[in-house]
Amino acid sequence: MRTLLLAVVIFLAIHIIRIDFAEGTIPLAAFFGDTAPPCSESPIDSIRVTTIEGDTIETLFAMYPDMTMTFVERLSTFYSLNPHLRNQDIIGGLSIKLPISKSGQNNCN
């Protein structure tokens, strides 16, 4: 009896998911156009800092905070500005660029 009940629950779950993919919310999302105006992202600015012994990316981001970018966005921008640091640790005396977004340039509402 337990096997039959489990089979019915699995069948219903698969059926509901199939109906949702075929006729539900996912195909209907393509019919709604972009109602919001296109959003232009604010340009990224950078500052040049000289590191000291013991600096990490996290400590540099904490010393120069940016509230408009997430950590992951800022980290990817950091590595695009400093590709030589991808496979190496930060050592003292390096001159690196830290991404900072310009304030007041956000056109998104």
Other residues' Cβ atoms within 10 Å of the Cβ of residue 68: 15
Task: Return the CATH number of 44-101, one of 3.30.70, 3.10.350, 3.40.1130, 1.10.287.
Answer: 3.10.350
* CA–CA separation, 26 and 20 (whole Å): 7
What tens digit of pLDDT does each residue of 20-77 get? 777 766 555 555 555 555 665 556 788 999 999 999 999 999 998 888 888 999 999 9
pTM: 0.53
User: What are the residue boundaries of the structural domains of the chain, listed by start?
Assistant: 2-31, 44-101
* CA–CA separation, 109 and 24 (whole Å): 29
> For residue 90, what pLDDT is reported?
87
* CA–CA separation, 98 and 64 (whole Å): 8
